[in-house]
Structure 1
Amino acid sequence: MNDITVRPMRRDDADTILAIYQAGLDSGDASLETQAPTWTEFDAGRLPEHRYVAVDDSGTALGWIAVSQVSTRRVYAGVVEHSVYVDPTQQGRGIARLLLTTLIAATEAAGIWTIQSGVFPENVASLALHTRAGFRVVGTRERVARQHGRWRDVVLLERRSPVII
């Protein structure tokens, strides 16, 4: 991991970020989505101050994490939903954990008190990652949507900051 650093996401990361996103979608256990958005759509749907990429010594993006606003209502200003994706050839190296740790620190510094996410129950690695990072299971949305002809459940996770009181 000494050769991996995390930095803010930049516009010139777009092609690699979207390719990593699509690879995750192609796995079938990352999202109900099946097609990565355009960069314009990606950019519009995520908060610019909480987007990070993990890069190797050459500057190649290996994974990314970003948050979206949960609601435009002011009472939910401190609640975000995150996504984290790692290049399939780089999985198992601790990159997602590094990205999530960075995101948690940055969102707490910004006064965000809750990070939430939805994960398929089949995505055991992601569930374990989130548990280790202090997320708890809130519940399961059963048969919430069909994907590739089968009903999918989604486990709802949240991490309530112990710092923001």
Structure 2
Amino acid sequence: MTDVNISTMTIEHWPQVLKIYAEGIKTGAATFEIDLPNYKDWNQNHLEHCRLVIESHGTIFGWAALSPVSSRWVYRGVAEVSVYMSEKSRGMGYGTLLMNQLIYCSEKKGLWTLRSGIFPTNIASIKLHEKVGFRLLGIREKIGQLNGIWHDNLIYERRSKIVGK
């Protein structure tokens, strides 16, 4: 494994983060989004904490961030995971490192549940989530359209063993 570092995402990382996000959109198996967001919109939709990049020598291999699932107080400890790996780094173990750090960060911030919606065809993401302790809760059938085609979404969840016991 290359000498990698996981650090807090900053606005300076945005161009590389956006490039990796574009690669995910291009797969048709990572998100329902078809357009890249601008930083302002992306920033408003994600929690300020637990925004991470994994990089080596200035090259970002992946990123992860959390979004609130609800504005209701009762769900303040529940967040939706976004994790994207660059095409050149997939299968190298960096996703596991990044997700483990995201879990650690989320627990330090008092989050008790992490949730992910994953396309059934995104086998790499399914394996990654299961590897770090997420479990399949169920399927939201035909929950959204991508390019005019209805897609299911698998709902994965990880309940903290530390927070909210």
- Shorter-chain TM-score tier: over 0.9
Gaps of 5+ in 2: none
Superposed CA deviations along residues 103-137 of structure 1, whole A, max 9, x for unmatched, are 10111111100000100000111101111111011
Superposed CA deviations along residues 13-48 of structure 1, whole A, max 9, x for unmatched, are 011101110110111000111112111111111112
Gaps of 5+ in 1: none
Identity %: 38
Which one-letter code corresponds to 2:155 in the other structure? L
Structure 1 equivalent of residue 51 of structure 2: 51
Q: Does 1:96 align with 2:95?
A: yes
Rounded to whole Å, the distance in 2 between the matches of 1:87 and 1:72 is: 31
Structure 1 equivalent of residue 123 of structure 2: 124
Which one-letter code corresponds to 1:18 in the other structure? L
Structure 2 equivalent of residue 78 of structure 1: 77
TM-score, length-scaled by structure 2: 0.96
Which one-letter code corresponds to 1:31 in the other structure? T
Rounded to whole Å, the distance in 2 between the matches of 1:2 and 1:87 is: 15
Residue 66 of structure 1: how far off its partner (Å): 0.1
RMSD of the alignment, in Å? 0.9
Rounded to whole Å, the distance in 2 between the matches of 1:10 and 1:146 is: 32
Structure 2 equivalent of residue 21 of structure 1: 21
